Structure 1
Amino acid sequence: MRWFAKRIGQAIFTLWAVVTISFALIRFLPGGPLVYLKVQLKKQGIPESTIDNYVENYVSFQSDDPLWIQYIDYMTSVLQGDLGQALFQDGAVFDILAQALPWTIFLAGIATFVTTVIGIAIGGFMAYTEGSKFDSGITLFSTIAGGIPYYVLALALVYLFGYRWQMFPTGGQVDPSLTAGFTWPYVKSVLYHAVLPLLSTTLVGWGGVALSMRGNSISILGEDYIRVARLRGLSRQRIALRYVSRNAMLPMYTGILLSIAFMLGGSVVLEQIFTYPGVGFYLFKAVVSSDYPLMMGGLIMISTAVILGVLVADLTYSKIDPRTSGEGQRESY
């Protein structure tokens, strides 16, 4: 219980540090975001007497108050889910990001699942055929594919399959003419729009998982308990599934959970390339248009996802690997 409290406390402290840094960025970024906002509002013809009230609504604190009061107001607003109003988007920052988050999680979750399943299956087979042409060929391919940035592949895919051959859409997450609901036309359209983004991350990602699985499996194949299992006459399939695969996947558990969280951060460029309206898409637009409230809201949301990913990995790792159940030795990293 003491260890759990320590880990949760560390996660809360990290999240507080992220929110504090976001406040400092809003307040002290070069170019003066508050001054910039006031200038933009003045250009729109808003009277100077009411500009401060508009700024307060946008950034969730009164710019004329002392700094410590501004900080308390900002922290209170964040805890209440109020991240201010987006400057160049219609709506509150929290509402915009809350609508975009499910689409980003959908892409990150499916991409991680497909990448992991393919990588584990191929990596396990590579270990059993160590030294074969298949093993050498996949190792070479995985090494080359792992060095290709996903956004380079994304640009190539959108050019070939989107513009040149026109096989897949080049933007959006679903056909806007369809009514949202759990119906086959709507689900089909969602999957159809997600094919290229998923391919761009999966094709360059499964090789690394396969190499990790191969290395873990080879090390486990040399363990004494594997030899004992063979001497007991256990079937090859049972040894592969119950002994080798299960233990080889344990060191990869943390990486799988964290990859989902870090894909949220990596979605900024990917979603911009495919015009996929997720958190990364709006974060990129916020950076380009100097929409500081939306920018900081996206930063807080993505950082929260990463922190939660690390926390879940730490709290659950001992459940799948009892050898790490001792306090002080349970950090997943």
Structure 2
Amino acid sequence: MTFTFALYQAMPGGPAEAMRAMILAESGQVGGSVNLDLLNQMVEHYANVNPDKPLHVQYYNYLHSLLIQGDMGTSIYQGEPVLDLILQSVPWTMFIGVYALALGYTVSLFLGAVMAYKERSLFDSVASIGVIFLNSVPYYIFAIILVYVLGIEYSVFPINGRYGTFVDPGFTLEYMSSVVRHATLPVVSMGILATGGALTMRGNAIRVLGDDYVRVAELRGLRRSRVAMQYVGRNSVLPLYTQFMIGIAGVLSSTVVVEEIFAYNGMGKLLYDAVLLHDYPVLMGTLLVFTTITLLAIYIADLTYGYIDPRISTGDSNE
């Protein structure tokens, strides 16, 4: 919250001055007689910051409004509370973000495991080059390619919106299938971000394959599938857990561009439009939510990793 407030105050020309200019432009009073008290009240209404107050007082009022009242201000262009706009957009962004992560990491796990078992083979070499290529090309390039090929050229999937124009929202098969079809291309585009985990999975699996307990399991005559799943796969995937949680930050940041490309009305597009329109209250609110979700995911990963991998522990019962 302190960081967003500092960024807000550090904007060129000052946010209050910029908002004054926008309010005057919207009201058509540029260059005319202006009631400064009324203008400052409007700025305070939109941004929760009174430009007449000292900086430390503005900061206190900002935190008080945010923490006690849950007030993030009002959108200058949409005229709605910022919190309401965010609550309307967050579920859609989390929907495509979670599925993109799940898709990308599922492919990474299976591909990385096969690459490890076929180490130094032709498949391993080709797959490694392919994964490196996917992670070298910006994800939005793939988004544009998918729009052209699957959306425009062959019309397999829709290229804009969250669901069909003539579909009524509700728990119906028509609505849910429309939501899935509209989310397919954004999910695939962002899922490419997570394919880099295949190389990490490959390295982990190769390391585990050389451990003594894997050799003992093979000498005991256990089925190869059981060794692969319970011994190699389970222990190889553990280091990817933290990477998966941190990957939420990458997926959230990618929604800013992907949602604009697909005209998908989520948090990313809300932030993108706020930047273009200089809608400072929305910009501050979305930045705060993005940061909170990212830090919360990393914190959860830090707290739960010891339960997922009991080998990671510190101290003993006496400490």
What is the TM-score normalised by the length of structure 2?
Answer: 0.92
Equivalence for 1:28: 10
Task: Please state how far the C-alpha of 1:259 moved relative to its aligned partner.
Answer: 0.9
Rounded Cα–Cα distance in structure 2 between residues aligned with 1:60 and 1:203 = 39
Task: Please state how far the C-alpha of 1:203 moved relative to its aligned partner.
Answer: 3.9
Rounded Cα–Cα distance in structure 2 between residues aligned with 1:31 and 1:63 = 13
Which residue, out of 270, 273, 286, partners 1:285? 273
User: Would you say the 8 A contact 2:193–2:251 is kept in 1?
Assistant: no
Structure 1: gaps (5+ residues): 1-18, 329-333
- More moved, 24-33 vs 89-98: 24-33
User: Would you say the 8 A contact 1:26–1:293 is kept in 2?
Assistant: no
The structure 1 segments of at least 4 consecutive aligned residues displaced by more than 3 Å after TM superposition are: none
Rounded Cα–Cα distance in structure 2 between residues aligned with 1:137 and 1:205 = 18
Task: Please state how far the C-alpha of 1:89 moved relative to its aligned partner.
Answer: 2.0
Rounded Cα–Cα distance in structure 2 between residues aligned with 1:185 and 1:151 = 29
User: Would you say the 8 A contact 2:97–2:190 is kept in 1?
Assistant: no
Task: Please state how far the C-alpha of 1:178 moved relative to its aligned partner.
Answer: 2.1
Sequence identity percentage: 41
Rounded Cα–Cα distance in structure 2 between residues aligned with 1:286 and 1:159 = 27
Which residue, out of 88, 97, 120, partners 1:131? 120
CA RMSD of aligned residues (A): 1.7
Equivalence for 1:113: 102
Secondary structure at 1:211 match in 2: helix
Inter-CA distance 327–300: structure 2 relative to 1 (3 Å threshold): farther
Please say if 1:75 is aligned against 2:63: yes
Equivalence for 1:294: 282
Give 1:215's aligned amino acid.
G
Rounded Cα–Cα distance in structure 1 between residues aligned with 2:117 and 2:87 = 45
Secondary structure at 1:179 match in 2: coil
Rounded Cα–Cα distance in structure 2 between residues aligned with 1:40 and 1:164 = 41
Inter-CA distance 103–327: structure 2 relative to 1 (3 Å threshold): farther
- More moved, 57-66 vs 186-195: 57-66
Equivalence for 2:311: 323
Give 1:302's aligned amino acid.
F
Give 2:254's aligned amino acid.
G
Secondary structure at 2:165 match in 1: coil
Task: Please state how far the C-alpha of 1:237 moved relative to its aligned partner.
Answer: 1.3
Inter-CA distance 53–322: structure 2 relative to 1 (3 Å threshold): same
How big is each residue's C-alpha offset from its partner over 1:37-77, in whole Å with a ceiling of 9 and x where there is no partner?
Answer: 11222230576242222111101122111221111110011
Secondary structure at 2:49 match in 1: coil
Inter-CA distance 127–28: structure 2 relative to 1 (3 Å threshold): closer
Rounded Cα–Cα distance in structure 2 between residues aligned with 1:237 and 1:160 = 38
Alignment of 1:1-333 (within 5 A): 19-43=1-25, 44-45=27-28, 48=35, 49-79=37-67, 80-203=69-192, 205-206=194-195, 208-326=196-314
Task: Please state how far the C-alpha of 1:327 moved relative to its aligned partner.
Answer: 5.2
Rounded Cα–Cα distance in structure 2 between residues aligned with 1:76 and 1:327 = 40
Rounded Cα–Cα distance in structure 2 between residues aligned with 1:51 and 1:139 = 60
